[in-house]
Amino acid sequence: MTEHDSDSILLYIQQDDEDVDSAIGDMNFAPHPATQVALKLLDGSLVMPTKTEAFQNDQNKNRTQYSFPRVINGKPILTVHDEYLTFVFGQALQGGRRIRPLQDPKKFRVASDWMDPYEISFRVADLIYNGKLEY
């Protein structure tokens, strides 16, 4: 939810380890690494996060929050007339520590086929509360 247009769009992603029962016994897999993420505009261009925070990054779980601007060049990224708010996943994030280095848009590459999904969308109609866009 937002109070001001200057507030960031926040995307929080949590990936847990995976327990799999197989023919050779129980197996445990570490979570996929945190990845680059970009916000996809209607024209197909990508907006990089202004901040990426790793709240946890270990063998059991990674929890990452990405912050994106709500307004670019004086225009809101999203309006009630848009259909989707879409994020695209890229390659594994490099660097460590809690605050991750800023992503370079020239180096952003859409995730490979192993990552499913490489894109996620939220319906704008589901983000409207009392006639106002709340995301």
Domain ranges (residues) in the chain: 9-133
- Give residue 88's pLDDT: 93
The CA-based angle 128-39-48, given to 5 degrees, is 135
**Alpha carbon distance 133, 135 (integer Å):** 6
Q: What is the pLDDT of residues 103-129, one digit of tens each?
A: 888 888 887 655 556 888 999 999 888
pTM: 0.79
**Alpha carbon distance 15, 64 (integer Å):** 9
- Give residue 49's pLDDT: 96
Radius of gyration of the chain (CA): 17
The sign of the CA dihedral 94, 95, 98, 99 is negative
Low-confidence ranges of the chain (pLDDT < 70): 1-3, 5, 17-31, 58-60, 112-117
